[in-house]
């Protein structure tokens, strides 16, 4: 059966944008603001998050972020278990949500993705980076974000912001040294992938940061126009 070339090229793959940063960096706030703005401009946008994004992945998220006191017998989540659960949730999320949306030309904006796995479970927990990268490639089948926005701020500022929030989770209880390793991990990843990862100062005025984010994303979208 012959293919119709014009039909196969009629629908262009969507754009995959991810938001990254330490706890309290402001990434989730900026993610929501960008999605709202892009929809106002007429873009077809899917807003999602990791871990999560599907019913099963959201259940995994609940297990991952629960305090030990909330689990049976106060069982601690091991670093390897944490990584494998995140990758399992990612598999569900990509298969059922992200990849179908991209295939239909939708602009996918995701709060956390693979860089968080490397920063938290690799740099933060000390798991072997080559193993994490290999497992992630297997789960994602090589899917990489087109653009990643990394929001950076001092750990002390991020943790202070988080303490003001009502939805405290297991990661908020981690020692400051853990969060410092995660921050340095994100910055190391940004140095490794300067064309994909854009670092923004999360300490600034939220409106000014939102304007920066919008400018970066619209420029990226403009470059992709046929």
Domain membership flag for residue 59: no
Tokens of 135: 């497992």
The predicted structure's pLDDT at residue 124: 98
Domain membership flag for residue 61: no
The predicted structure's pLDDT at residue 10: 43
pLDDT mean for each 10 residues of the chain (226 residues): 36 91 97 98 97 98 85 81 98 98 97 98 98 97 97 96 86 93 98 98 96 97 78
Domain membership flag for residue 94: no
Domain membership flag for residue 212: yes
The predicted structure's pLDDT at residue 205: 96
Angle between helices 55-65 and 79-93 (to 10 degrees): 160
Interacting residues of 122 by C-beta distance below 8 A, sequence separation 6+: 128, 129, 132, 185
Q: Which domain holds residue 136?
A: 12-50+103-223
Residue 199: CATH number of its domain: 3.40.50.300
Maximum Cα–Cα distance across the chain: 61
Domain membership flag for residue 71: no
Question: How far is Cα 219 from Cα 120, in angstroms, rounded to an integer?
Answer: 30
Domain membership flag for residue 64: no
The predicted structure's pLDDT at residue 4: 38
**Overall number of domains in the chain:** 1
The predicted structure's pLDDT at residue 1: 34
The predicted structure's pLDDT at residue 13: 87
Domain membership flag for residue 70: no
Domain membership flag for residue 216: yes
């Amino acid at each position: 059966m012959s293919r119709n070339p014009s039909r196969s090229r009629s629908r262009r793959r969507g754009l995959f944008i991810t938001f990254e940063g330490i706890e309290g960096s402001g990434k989730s706030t900026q993610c929501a603001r960008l999605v709202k703005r892009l929809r106002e401009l007429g873009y077809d946008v899917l807003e999602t998050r990791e871990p999560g994004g599907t019913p099963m992945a959201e259940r995994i998220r609940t297990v991952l972020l629960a305090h030990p006191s909330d689990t049976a017998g106060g069982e601690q989540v091991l670093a390897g278990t944490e990584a494998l659960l995140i990758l399992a949730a990612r598999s569900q999320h990509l298969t059922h949500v992200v990849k179908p949306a991209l295939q239909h030309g939708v602009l996918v904006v995701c709060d956390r993705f693979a860089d968080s796995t490397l920063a938290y479970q690799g740099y933060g927990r000390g798991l072997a980076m080559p193993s994490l990268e290999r497992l992630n490639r297997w789960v994602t089948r090589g899917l990489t974000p087109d653009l990643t926005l990394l929001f950076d701020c001092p750990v002390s500022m991020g943790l202070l912001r988080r303490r003001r929030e009502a939805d405290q989770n297991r990661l908020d209880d981690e020692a400051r040294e853990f969060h410092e390793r995660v921050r340095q991990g994100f910055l190391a990843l940004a140095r490794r992938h300067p064309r994909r990862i854009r670092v923004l100062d999360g300490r600034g005025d939220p409106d000014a940061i939102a304007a920066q984010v919008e400018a970066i994303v619209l420029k990226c979208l403009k470059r992709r126009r046929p």
